[in-house]
Amino acid sequence: MWKRLLVVSAVSAAMSSMALAAPLTVGFSQVGSESGWRAAETNVAKSEAEKRGITLKIADGQQKQENQIKAVRSFVA
């Protein structure tokens, strides 16, 4: 739950400051793609990023926390 809240907060903050900042790239480490809900969440993130001119990097964690950690680290490297 906290991870989702953190991701949503980060994306919201990035999107709200879009008019004031240089082009943005946002990383989104999705837990997995095992359900329609997760697929919908990913599609909405893609759509909203595209509307705002944000480059969105998405990683599928494949239900493994270590994969998500690797993805987040790769986003900031």
The structural domains of the chain, with segments of one domain joined by +, span: 25-77
> Rounded to an integer, what distance in angstroms lies between the CA atom of residue 44 and that of residue 27?
14
Q: What is the pTM of this model?
A: 0.65
What's the confidence (pLDDT) of residue 33?
A: 86
- Architecture field, domain 25-77: 3-Layer(aba) Sandwich (3.40)
**Higher model confidence: residue 67 or residue 20?**
67
Q: What is the dihedral of CA 39, 45, 50, 56, to 10 degrees?
A: -100
- pLDDT (tens digit, 9 = 90+) per residue, 6-59? 565 666 666 665 556 689 999 999 999 889 999 999 999 999 999 999 999 999
68 sits in the region (left: phi over 0; alpha: psi -120 to 50; else beta) called alpha
Cα–Cα nearest to 45, from 62, 31, 65, 63: 31
> Rounded to an integer, what distance in angstroms lies between the CA atom of residue 59 and that of residue 74?
10
Q: pLDDT band for 77, please (50, 70, 90 cuts).
A: confident
What's the confidence (pLDDT) of residue 68?
A: 96
